Amino acid sequence: MTVRINPYQRLLKDVKDFAWKVKYASRKIMWTYPKARLSEGWSLADLHARVSAADQLGYDVHLIANDEGLVVKYVKRADIPFGWAL
């Protein structure tokens, strides 16, 4: 005999799973803009194409400035569970 899951326990599990996916999202370093070459100018059209491609694949793009230049990371978006319509 199986134990029936309480609706609140199911909701708690769904919320925990969603929070885990948001907090520990998959991150990938895609490319780096070297600090020495930042003043030369980078094409915004190229950046736009890369950000659009990431968006179509379900990723957000994060630019991080560090001592070496700009690091571009793709971060996987967590899907909002069905029924959690905003």
What's the confidence (pLDDT) of residue 75? 92
How distant, in Å, are the alpha carbons of 15, 28, 30, 31 from that of 34?
40, 18, 13, 10
What counts of helices (H) and strands (E) characterise the chain? 2, 3
What's the confidence (pLDDT) of residue 45? 84
The residue length of the chain stands at: 86
Name the helix (H) or strand (E) containing 45. Answer: helix 44-56
pLDDT at 86 over 70: no
For the stretch 39-78, pLDDT in tens is: 777 777 888 888 899 999 999 999 899 988 888 899 998 8
Phi and psi angles of residue 6, each rounded to the nearest 5 degrees, phi first: -65, 140
Over residues 1-11, the mean pLDDT reads: 87
pLDDT at 13 over 80: yes
What residue spans define the domains of the chain? 25-76
